[in-house]
Structure 1
Amino acid sequence: MRASVLASCVLIIAGLAGWIASALALPLAWVLAPMLVVALASMSGLRMPEIRTGRRIGQLIVGSAIGLTMTPEAAGMLVLWSPLMVLTALVAIGVTVLLTVPFARLSGQGTATAFFSLTPGGLSEMAHVGAAEGARTEVVALAQAVRVAVLVTLLPLLLRNFGEDGGLLSQEGRPDLPAFVYAGVLLACLVSIRLVRYIGANNPWMIGALLAAALLAGSGLVSGRTPAIPFALGQYLIGISIGARFERERMKGILRILGLAMGMVLVMSLLLAGYAWLLSRISGQGLSTTILLTSPGGMAEMALTATALHLNVMLVAGFHFVRSFIVNAYVSNFYRLFLRWGVFGHIERLLDRLAGARRR
């Protein structure tokens, strides 16, 4: 009873923190502030309540908000960019392979654990699929939570201070949808979610909501933005769901991996930022946009960052949608293929040669 009261107090404090951060105009205020409050409470040993339903509602709201930015012109643009979307997903997997062996050596974990810990996919999906390949579930879950938390904290701050504003029409410049219209959009999103779940796709609450809202907005049936209160609520629910993953019990005995995972996320982000620079030069898109396109962060968080910076949110969501589909659907196939080809063994021998040459 006492624990549930404390957990409820933490959730209220998280909401107040989000409101204060929003009043201070901090980037992703309703995601970051609640996430940090709940993460600190979880790491202190307080068991937070099961919030899976809350996370799904958050994905429903944020996914529909992203979809409502769709226009017919944006739909045509996504088709033109589709080859680069697939290439970018494969580049992300390639960077994961390059870092798997160094992470395995430094952390003392097996190849499977290292690979699924670094692969930029869904937390639950990577933990589940990784377990079938012999990975340690608790390590994979922690590393995946660190990846999302680090990127959702650092990228908005860095891009806001050092990147460029995209200058595109933001959600703030559009009228709120009337309540009955917004309710209809959410109802259509729920139907779409059922269909996406039926075909077995991953992340159905985010993808299903995005697809339905994008179809309605792109066809001209609705025009407007998600009302402010539901939009803040959706971000809040996503923020507390990320923070709750840092459970004290899960982190016992693997705290050393926490720092290594942070370091690997930063290295992966730097390597993908190099690819983003090349993509920017080729495509003519701004560097801030291409960094978000290629970032190993989550779809919802990166799309929200694009919204805050007035960047092309549908393009960002499209890139992450394609990567999410390819990674979550085929990651085990990629892993087995790399094992069959001996890719990890080749990287190990290369590292041994480099280490031997350095000792000389």
Structure 2
Amino acid sequence: MTELPALLAVIAGSAAAALIFRGCRIPLWPITGGLVGAAAVNLGFGLAVQVPDLIVLFAQLLVGTAIGATIAPDTFAQFRRFLAPGTLAVAAVLAAGVLFGWMFAVLGILDPAEAMLSLMPGGVGEMVTAGVALGHDGAVIIGAHMVRLFTVLLSLPLVLWAAVRIQRRWVTGQDGPEPDPS
């Protein structure tokens, strides 16, 4: 398969899977569906599609624009409320990411830089973009983040159910009917 038809096939697979994920109400369907669809077409047909640098740059600009456009004037007022607890939580997650990344590197499981980028908190797109921009294997970083992302998304209903139950029983003292986690 020549480069353009292969690239178009991967893009079509990405869009199709994203739409399927949307229909199934899977969170973050554009990213997770796009990743799964592109990977399925790439692997299913034995392709090795390289997305042209100009398209990668344009996509990075779009992601940055989409994230930046969500910042409103009241964002910083809300930010002050959770600055201290948020900073503590991020520091703990960063420390865990660095520790596990270092262990994976020492054990020879991953390259040190890819291990750190794979285990750092942040969006899949952002971490992969940073890794690719620094010259590292984006597929390794995507793989690790997809495991993290799907684990979090699949366990989220249970975590929310437990959080509501703990809140009602031990914080507010209410012992009412069980809430619906969805």
TM-score, L = length of structure 2: 0.74
- Per-residue CA distance 1:168-199 (angstroms, 9 max, x = gap): xxxxxxxx932x54333322222111222233
Unaligned runs of 5+ residues in structure 1 are 1-175, 346-360
Corresponding residue for residue 123 of structure 2 = 298
TM-aligned CA distance change 1:332 to 1:251, over 3 Å: farther
TM-aligned CA distance change 1:334 to 1:257, over 3 Å: closer
228, 246, 254: which is aligned to 2:53?
228
Corresponding residue for residue 272 of structure 1 = 97
Which residue identity lines up with residue 200 of structure 1 in the other structure? R
152, 177, 180: which is aligned to 2:3?
177
d(CA) in 1 for partners of 2:96 and 2:6? 43
d(CA) in 2 for partners of 1:311 and 1:202? 27
| Count of aligned positions | 167
Post-superposition offset of 1:317: 0.9
TM-aligned CA distance change 1:291 to 1:221, over 3 Å: closer
Which residue identity lines up with residue 69 of structure 2 in the other structure? A
d(CA) in 1 for partners of 2:38 and 2:82? 39
Post-superposition offset of 1:332: 4.1
111, 114, 117: which is aligned to 1:286?
111
Seq. identity, %: 19
8 A Cα contact 1:177 1:227, kept in partner? no
Which residue identity lines up with residue 225 of structure 1 in the other structure? Q
200, 217, 231: which is aligned to 2:25?
200
Post-superposition offset of 1:266: 3.3
d(CA) in 2 for partners of 1:181 and 1:282? 36
8 A Cα contact 2:6 2:49, kept in partner? no
TM-aligned CA distance change 1:337 to 1:242, over 3 Å: same
Q: Which runs of structure 2 are paired with 1:141-220 in the superposition (5 Å)?
A: 177-178=3-4, 180-220=5-45
d(CA) in 2 for partners of 1:177 and 1:258? 47
Post-superposition offset of 1:267: 3.9
TM-aligned CA distance change 1:203 to 1:339, over 3 Å: closer
8 A Cα contact 1:177 1:226, kept in partner? no
8 A Cα contact 1:299 1:320, kept in partner? yes
8 A Cα contact 2:3 2:49, kept in partner? yes
Q: Which runs of structure 2 are paired with 1:1-360 in the superposition (5 Å)?
A: 177-178=3-4, 180-252=5-77, 254-255=79-80, 257-258=82-83, 261-262=86-87, 264-337=89-162
More helix, by proportion: 1
RMSD (Å) for aligned C-alpha atoms: 2.8
8 A Cα contact 2:105 2:111, kept in partner? yes
Unaligned runs of 5+ residues in structure 2 are 171-182
Counterpart secondary structure, 1:222: coil
